Amino acid sequence: MQIKNFKRESIIPLPVTFISTLSPDGVRNVAPYSCLMPILRPFDLICVATAGVMRDTFDNMKAKEEFVISLPGMDLAGSVMPTAKFVPPEVNEYELAGLDEKSSQKIETPGVDGCYAWMECKLHKIIADEYDNFPYALVMGKVVHLEVRDDIYNVEDGSWDVEKAQPLMMTESNQGMHFCTVKDMDWFEPYGAMFPNGKDPLAGMYED
C-alpha cells in the first residue's frame, strides 16, 4: 500500500525523550522530543530536529548553549503530554508535569529524575533553515556526560536490559501518537561481522 510521503516518521518507531533546558532567567523547561539521532558510532554527537518557532526548548538551547536529553521508561508516559502543551516560557514545566529534577554533573541544566539514562550536552552546531516556508533547525549537541541507571547496565559487555528499562517509544497514526516499548529478540551480532577481517576497527574505544 502506498501512503503519503510526509508520513515517513509515522512508520519509524521513535524514542520518546525529555529535553530539558534553562532560560536565560533560569526557568526550568522540559519538552518531549522524538526526532533525534546519534551521529555515527565513533562520535559523541547527537542531533535533534526542532521546529524553529514556538519552541522554548530551541530558544533556550541557543541562549544557554546546553541541554539534557533524559530517556524515560514507560512509567513516565503520563508526564509526556503535560510537557508537550504550549505554555509561556516563564512556566516551570517540571512543576507542571510533576517531574523531579536530577542534578547534572558537567552542566548547569538539570535532567529529569526517574529516567533510565541521561545525556548532558553542550551545543555543538545549529543548522537552521526553512522548508516549504516553515522554519526548522537541526541542533547538534556534544555529549559531555553520559549516565545510565546501574540496575539496567551490564558493565562486563556494555549491554543493557531493555526489558527492565522499558524505553518509552511511539509510532504515529493519522490522529496522533501510539506509545510502545522495545522487546529483546535475544539475537546478537558483533560489530566485527561487518568488516572483511572480522575485526571492529573501533574496538579500542570500548576499553577502559
Is residue 139 within 8 A of residue 126, CB to CB? The reply is: yes
- Tell me which residues in 107-136 interact with ligand FMN (CB under 6 A): none
Tell me the per-residue interface mask from 162 to 191 with ligand FMN, x by CB under 6 A, - otherwise: --------x------x--------------
Contacting range for ligand FMN; rule: CB under 6 A; set: 30-38, 62-70, 126-134, 143-151: 30-38
Closest CA to 113 of 85, 78, 142, 149: 149
Which residue of 20, 57, 79, 109 would you call a contact of ligand FMN, by CB under 6 A?
57
As given in the structure block, the three cell numbers for residue 103 are 542534578
> How many chain residues interact with ligand FMN (CB under 6 A)?
19
Q: Is 55 in the site for ligand FMN (CB under 6 A)?
A: yes
**Cβ atoms 136, 49 nearer than 8 A:** yes
Query: For residue 20, which of 76, 166, 189 has the smallest C-alpha distance?
Result: 76
Q: Does 148 bind ligand FMN (CB under 6 A)?
A: no
Binding residue (CB under 6 A) for ligand FMN from 27, 49, 126, 162: 49
**By the criterion CB under 6 A, which residues form the site for ligand FMN?**
16, 29, 31-35, 49-51, 55-57, 80, 84-86, 170, 177
